[in-house]
Chains A and B, each alone.
Chain A
Amino acid sequence: MPNPVVETYSLLAEKYDDELNLQSCWGRATEKILSSLLIKDNDQVVLDVGCGTGRALSQLASRRPNIQFIGIEPAENMRKCALHRIESCPNIAIRDGCFEKMPVTSQSVDYLFSIFAFHWVTNLRASVQEIRRVLKPNGHMDLFFIGRNNGHEFIRKTSPIFLKHMGPARFLESARMRTQLTREAALRLFRETFDPRQVSVVESYETYYDSLEGHWGWWVRIEGQFVSIPSEARKACDEEVRRALSGLSTEKGIPYSIHSLHLMVRSGAELQNGSWS
């Protein structure tokens, strides 16, 4: 059965790197994360799961020509954009796959990272086990994904509108498409599969302010599952949502708080030599 989230991302692939999206709260948060990633000198294979159009990969690979980079992306048109971007980068490969099923040899990855993709998994435990399978025993990982309280300002304002236009069944079905864990739940999940001493989670809340149009640019992207609303109802729904979001306006703009979880798996060697603070 096709995944509506993957299909929506595929449909929006051409617009994914638009300036509006890059300057949005998500674009800014992604840049911040990208600059924090730490690839080690002895890493040989680096994997980006949910690589999108390959922006992060191309930036990292240009600085590390001796490392093999692999990007995994389930949305076909996103992969096409990524392949186009990396044409001149011989050390990057783009493959079709997802967290639950990665076309990667067991115990072959030194460093796995992912930026704002893990909350779309459809099977949490299978995904964690798959991560475990592909990572080398001494591999390390940084997963960034949204937490349970993400975007609470928008959710409070828009949930009654979506419920009204979608009806209970569709409304709740869309909620089930995304997995938003608390810090504690994320920690528990990964400690079931990895050595608990190697796993830690840092959570953060950061409020971004933007204009209505600025937020609207990414709104379609993250709430793509709402395409299930019939087109006539969608128009009325959009108008009501825009009105509701305008009501949040402050002097600084319209706030949106990203609740981000940063889940880290550090290698046993890092634990032993105390390099993991």
Chain B
Amino acid sequence: MNSIKENVLVVSTLNWIKEHKLPGNRHGAEITEDIDLITDGLLDSMGLVDLLLFVEEQTGRPIDLKTVEPKDICVVKNLCRIALGNPIAQSTDGCEHAEPSCGNLLAAGGKV
């Protein structure tokens, strides 16, 4: 059984992102669990490395990057589920963004 609940992990992850997000992005106030951190410019690759380390520290378990897709680690909701070993819901309710997520970009044939 995981020692940390998913909703708690989501909140602490969002707080971490608020503290460490890149300057000058368009998300002045609201950062939600559904947005794509890379596509929306909140984090760069080094920021994502730091975020994964933070999440792994919170859960006490490593994330296997070889088995995940971009959308699994770029969207907080998905990342927290993966980090806790919980299955990701197949619905698209977490992907209703103004811009496509990394995963949707793949499906769209790579148009950026």
Question: Which A residues are within 8 Å of any B CB, using their own CB?
Answer: 148-149, 152, 155-156, 159-165, 167-169, 171-172, 174-176, 178, 180, 236, 240, 243-244
Query: A152 is contacted by which of B22, B70, B112 (Cβ under 8 Å)?
Result: B22
In the complex, chain B residues whose CB is within 8 Å of the CB of A243: 112
A251 to chain B, nearest CB (A): 20
**Chain A residue, CB-CB nearest to B42:** A156
Interface string of B3-22 (1 = CB under 8 A from A): 00000000000000000001
Which of B27-35, B54-62, B90-98, B102-110 forms part of the interface with chain A? B102-110
Given contacts A149-B23, A175-B49, contact A159 B112 (CB under 8 A): no
In the complex, chain A residues whose CB is within 8 Å of the CB of B23: 149, 152
Contact A161 B44 (CB under 8 A): no
In the docked arrangement, what's the CA distance between A171 and B74, Å?
12
In the complex, chain A residues whose CB is within 8 Å of the CB of B74: 163
In the complex, chain B residues whose CB is within 8 Å of the CB of A172: 45, 48-49, 52, 65
17 A-B contact pairs sorted by A residue (CB < 8 Å): A148-B46, A149-B22, A155-B45, A156-B44, A160-B39, A160-B102, A161-B110, A163-B45, A163-B74, A164-B105, A164-B106, A167-B69, A167-B70, A171-B45, A174-B45, A175-B45, A244-B112
In the docked arrangement, what's the CA distance between A244 and B111, Å?
10
5 closest pairs, A vs B, by CB?
Answer: A175-B45, A169-B65, A156-B41, A160-B39, A155-B44
A205 to chain B, nearest CB (A): 11
* B-side interface residues, number (CB < 8 Å): 27
Given contacts A156-B22, A172-B65, contact A164 B41 (CB under 8 A): no
Given contacts A159-B38, A160-B39, A163-B45, 8 further A-B contacts (CB under 8 A): A152-B23, A152-B24, A156-B44, A159-B45, A161-B112, A163-B102, A168-B69, A169-B66
In the complex, chain A residues whose CB is within 8 Å of the CB of B70: 163-164, 167-168
In the complex, chain B residues whose CB is within 8 Å of the CB of A169: 65-66
In the docked arrangement, what's the CA distance between A69 and B105, Å?
52
Contact A240 B110 (CB under 8 A): yes
Of A148, A171, A176, A180, chain B has the most CB atoms within 10 Å of the CB of A171
Contact B48 A175 (CB under 8 A): yes
Contact A236 B68 (CB under 8 A): no
In the docked arrangement, what's the CA distance between A216 and B25, Å?
25
In the complex, chain A residues whose CB is within 8 Å of the CB of B66: 169
A243 to chain B, nearest CB (A): 7
Question: Which B residues are within 8 Å of any A CB, using their own CB?
Answer: 22-25, 36, 38-39, 41, 44-46, 48-49, 52, 65-66, 68-70, 72-74, 102, 105-106, 110, 112
In the docked arrangement, what's the CA distance between A236 and B74, Å?
22
In the complex, chain B residues whose CB is within 8 Å of the CB of A174: 45
Query: A164 is contacted by which of B22, B25, B45, B102 (Cβ under 8 Å)?
Result: B102
Given contacts A163-B38, A168-B68, A169-B65, contact A175 B46 (CB under 8 A): yes
**Chain A residue, CB-CB nearest to B100:** A160
A233 to chain B, nearest CB (A): 10
In the docked arrangement, what's the CA distance between A170 and B109, Å?
20
In the docked arrangement, what's the CA distance between A176 and B52, Å?
12
In the docked arrangement, what's the CA distance between A160 and B45, Å?
9
Query: B45 is contacted by which of A149, A162, A167 (Cβ under 8 Å)?
Result: A162
In the complex, chain A residues whose CB is within 8 Å of the CB of B72: 168
B52 to chain A, nearest CB (A): 7
